[in-house]
Every structure is written in structure tokens, then in C-alpha cells.
Chains A and B, each alone.
Chain A
Amino acid sequence: MTESKAYLKKEWLEFKRTHRLLAFCILFAVFAILGPATAKLTPLLLEAFQADLETQGMQLVISEPVAMDSYMQFFKNLPILLIIVIILFSGSFTGEFTKGTGVLMLTKGLSKRKMLFTKYILWMLTTLGGIFLYLAIFMGYTAYYFKLTNLGGFFAAAGIYLIYIWFWLSLLLLMSVIIKSAGIVILGMGAVYFILSLIAIIPNAEHYLPTGLSQGVVFVADPTVIKDFLPAILITCCLNIVLIIASALLVPRKEV
């Protein structure tokens, strides 16, 4: 316990001093502002083209933007943030071994397992913190510009998206254990995403896949759809636990 606490302190210091905290705050905040801004500005931009298009004989119906447009932007920007988070953490564990900084920690009595899971906790907490910042700024602007509707659906969809993010962080955990370098960790994550997308071609397969959880705005519009995705939620949670256990079992064999 003392080792984990000391190591967590080090991880937090690293998060701050390598400017990852700054990057997190700015990126999550900027994307949070961009969501409602895009929702608000799109009709104005379309209006500008309206005259042009009408001379070409096309009809353009511009509706007043609503909260739903903003929600759509919320879920559209989340994958970008997730990719950034994964890239920022991809070298976190592997780097301790490729750079050789981890050896000194191990010889101080910190086990590889504690090292790995302390990092995992930091990844989860900082990502969660970032998401909360994102949510808070987003909700502030959305409430300012639009009349908030479908709030229940929105929070349900956001909650389901958190499970999706948790899946990728757990996958990052296992990838960090079985792969030596950060670059290949990212490639491995990409490969998993590619395979999941291939399987998703099968009709209704997404009801059972982790990627099914990233529907986002679909859930907001019609929360009753969520029950079709219950298997996906269950399977993803189980997968996460499998990933965690597999990492815990494999990490002592990690080559120094």
C-alpha cells in the first residue's frame, strides 16, 4: 500500500510535469466549447449558402438549432478525445521498461503488478476528471443557448459511453503488458478496433460488441433502444474484468 501511494504520487507529478495535465484541461475544455458552438453556428453557415443553392434549384430547410444538435456534437467529439487520451498514456507503462526507469523502482520493492495497476488507476481517474470537465463546460453552454431536453437519455448515453471508455483503457492495460513499445501498443489498439468494426458488419452484431456502446446520440433520441444493447453492456463489463485479470496474471512475466 505504501509503495502504491508513493508511486501514485510520482505518476501524478509526471502527469503534471510532462504537461499532460495542461493538455488534458485545454483539449477537454476546447472540445466542450466547440460542441455547442458548432450546433449554434451550423444553421448560420448554411444560411449563407442558402441563396446559392436555391439558384441551383435545391431546397434547403434550415431549422432552428436545438439541444439535440449540441448533444450530437458531444458524442461526435468524444472519440477524438479518447484517441488523444490513449496516445498520451500509450507509453506510460512500456516506457518504464524501454527507458529503464522502472528497474530502479522494482529494486526498491515495488512489484510490477502494483506498478501497472497504480498507473491504471491514474489513467481512469484523470480520464474521468477530464470527462467531467468536458461535461460541465458543455452543459453550461448548452443550457445557455438551448432549451435542455432529453436530459435522462443524454445522461444514460453518457454513462454508457463511460463503459466504452473504460473498455479501451482496460485494453490499453493488457496491451501495455504484452507489447514492448508505445508505438506498437497504439497499433495493437487500432487492430482491435479494426477487428471489432469488421465483426460489426454482421447485422445486429453491435448489440453484443463493445463498439455498440458508442451509439451516443441514438440513445439520447430514443432511450428505449438501450435495452437492445444490454448484452453489449454486460459483455463489455465482463470483457473489462477479463482484461484486468489477464493483465494481473501476465504482468509478473514482463521482461525487464
Chain B
Amino acid sequence: MNMLEIRHLSKRFGDKVVLDDLNLVVEEENIFGFIGRNGAGKTTTMKIILGLLEADSGEVYVCGEKVQYGSAKTNRLIGYLPDVPEFYGYMNAREYLRLCGELSGMDKEEIKSRSKELLEMVGLLKEKGKIKGYSRGMKQRLGIAQALMKHPKLLICDEPTSALDPLGRKDILSILSKVQDETSVIFSTHILSDVEKICRNVAILEKGNIVMQGNVNDIRLRHTSGDICIVPERLSDLDAIANLTGGAVVDDKVIVPPANSGSSAMSAVLSKLADSGIDLLKIEQMEPDLDQLFMEVIGK
């Protein structure tokens, strides 16, 4: 079943078109990355999915149920973590989770056991103080706990790692990958290394439209076959290698661009070098990274 289906979604604020006929289908899966620059329309899309914002046209379905603006019906299926979650500072984590549980109609015992389980998972079980004393990272972790309180089918996280330092980011990513066993996760980000670490599928949003969607590895392979990097043992061999393979000398290595080497790039280069008697230190197929791919896709 499709966890999320977005059809022909459009939204403008005044003259500014934020979403332009956006179509997206997310199947039941582990972690789905929703990538886009700041202002690409990620938060707007998420707010429409949650029924917090009204779309100009188009429909959104969560688990087959249509989302209606102003109605919170589909929200029982979704857990939501805003980019900077704000809590009632005068409560402690346990009280806040109890409020969340009561709002979703859970009974007392269930709330108790679920709170304990979630607080343990996000590492706040021993935290007794009021939320107003929490750091950003702690708030973000509590944010995940509150979003998961009612066992949602879908967890939507809006830039969960953007405001955090590297340590806090690592915490959040590891919690998210723990969570994927019980729920599907969609998380938006502009930090591509985070996506590479935990996502299987991604969609790239640019100018209000999905410009690319698919498996992270597939996209990587399909899009740029990547350069081959050759490092000889003696620097004097650099020019000879460049001549043989049609590559270019860059510093102390030769880079063979994919266009020159064709489809069976690596084997072609190897066979050319095999008889030359040049000793090599290293020969390697360079993987295109997501940053490079991202730039390419959005045309920068």
C-alpha cells in the first residue's frame, strides 16, 4: 500500500509559486529522504500533508485516506516532528508524553509503558527536569518520542538534524534508523550526508516540483558513472598513463573521465595499462557523491 500519495499539488503564497503540480508516491518502506534546498517547498508540502495548510489544488492521501484541511482525521496515522519543536516548558518529558497520549485517546497503562519505552529509546528516561531547561538536541529527541507516542504508520520529520551540532545529529540519525522497524519515516533535509547514511529512497524537490526520485544507489549509478582515478608509484609515469588512457593529470594522479572510457570503463583502462609495465599504487572507480548529483539535478 502507498503510505503517502500526492497528486497534482499546487500552492502559492501571493505571487510566489511554492509548489507547482507536485506528484509523489511513497510506498511502505524504511526511511525516505525528501531533499531540497531551503525554500524549495519541503516544509510547505509537509504542512499540507498534516492538514495545517490549505493547498490551492491537488490531493494528498495518507494510507489511502484523503487529507482534509482543518480536519485532524488523518493525523492519527501520522507522527510529526517540526524542524524546531516547541513544548510547554513548565512540564517534564513524562508529563508531556502523557498529554500526547491522552490527546490520542490512549489509556493510562498504555501511556505509562509507551512513555517509558520511548524515553529510554531517545535517552531521556533519567531526565527529571522541566522541558524549559532542555538543550536543542534534547528537545529534538523528545520531539521524536512525542511523534511516535501513538504508534503512527508514518513519521514525518522536518529537517530534524539541521539545527544540531554533529554529535546531536548523530544521535538523531541513529534513533531514526532504530525507529524504521516499526514505522515508515519521511524526513526532509538539505544535508546530503545524512541522507546517504540512512535513506534507501529519495526524492529531490526543486522549485516546487520533484525533479528526481528513486533508490539512492540506483540514482547514483545511473546518473554519473564516475571518474577513474589512477595513482602511479613513480610520478614520472604520470604523462605516460595520461597518454595511454586519454585522461588528464591532476596533481599526483590521473583522472580518466567517464566519457573517454565508455561503458566497460575500468576493464578498458586496465587492459591498456596491463602491457605498459607501469607500476601502479592505486586504481579506483570514484563514486559520485550525492552533493555532486544534487547540483547536477538542480542545474547549478
Direct contact of A and B (CB under 8 A): yes
How far is it, in angstroms, between the C-alpha of A14 and the C-alpha of B87 when the chains are bound?
12
Inter-subunit contact B82/A100 (CB<8 Å):
yes
B contact residues around A13 at 8 Å (CB):
90-91, 95
A59 contacts B by Cβ under 8 Å: no
| Nearest B-chain residue to A100, judged by Cβ | B86
A256 contacts the other chain (Cβ, under 8 Å)?
A: yes
Q: Do the beta carbons of B80 and A104 come within 8 Å of each other?
A: yes
Would A101 and B88 count as touching, CB distance under 8 A? yes
Stretch among A4-12, A121-129, A138-146, A147-155 lining the B interface = A4-12
Least Cβ–Cβ distance between A140 and chain B, in angstroms:
33
Q: Is the interface of B mostly helix, strand, loop or mixed?
A: loop
Which A residues lie within 8 Å of B87 (CB)? 101, 104
Asked whether, in the complex, the Cβ of A109 is within 8 Å of the Cβ of B52, the reply is no
Size of the A side of the interface (Cβ < 8 Å), in residues, is 27
| Known interface pairs A6-B102, A256-B47, A256-B52; A107-B72 also in contact (CB < 8 Å) | yes
Report the nearest A residue to B100, measured CB to CB. A108
Interface residues of A in 1-40 (CB under 8 A from B): 2-3, 5-7, 9-10, 13-14, 17-18
State whether A109 and B80 are in contact (beta carbons under 8 Å apart), knowing that A7-B103, A13-B90, A256-B53 are contacts in the complex.
Answer: no
Consensus secondary structure, chain A interface:
helix
A106 proximity list for chain B (CB < 8 A): 50, 52, 72, 75
Mark out the residues of chain A between 73 and 105 whose CB falls within 8 Å of any chain B CB in the assembled complex: 99-101, 103-105
- Are B75 and A107 in contact (CB-based, < 8 A)? yes
- Roughly how many angstroms separate A2 CA and B102 CA in the complex, as a whole number? 7
**Interface residue A110 (Cβ < 8 Å from any Cβ of B):** yes
The answer to whether B71 has its CB under 8 Å from any CB of chain A is: yes
In the bound assembly, the distance between CA atoms of A109 and B102 in angstroms comes to: 11
Q: What residues of B have a CB within 8 angstroms of the CB of A6 in the complex? A: 99, 102-103
Q: How many A-B residue pairs have CB under 8 A?
A: 77
Rounded to whole Å, the gap between the CB of A253 and the closest CB of chain B is: 8
- Given the known interface contacts A110-B103, A112-B70, the answer about A104 and B75 at a Cβ–Cβ threshold of 8 Å is no
> Complex formed: what's the CA distance from A91 to B80 in Å?
25
Hey, which chain B residues are within 8 Å of A2, CB to CB? 102-103, 105
| Interchain CA distance A112-B100 in the complex, whole Å | 16
A111 at the interface (CB under 8 A from B): yes
Q: Does B224 contact A (CB under 8 A)?
A: no
CA distance A110 to B71 in the complex (A): 9
**Do residues A103 and B99 form an inter-chain contact, with CB atoms below 8 A?**
no
- Which residues from chain A contact B72 at a C-beta distance below 8 Å? 106-111
On A, residues with C-beta under 8 Å from B are: 2-3, 5-7, 9-10, 13-14, 17-18, 99-101, 103-112, 252-253, 256
A2-B105, A101-B88 known, 17 other contacts, Cβ within 8 Å: A2-B102, A2-B103, A5-B102, A6-B99, A6-B103, A9-B99, A10-B99, A14-B88, A17-B90, A18-B90, A100-B84, A100-B85, A106-B72, A108-B150, A112-B70, A252-B70, A256-B52
What are 11 pairs between A and B in contact, CB < 8 Å?
Answer: A2-B103, A5-B102, A6-B103, A14-B88, A104-B100, A105-B103, A107-B72, A108-B75, A109-B72, A109-B73, A112-B70
Nearest first, the 5 A-B pairs at minimum CB distance are A6-B102, A17-B90, A100-B86, A108-B103, A252-B70
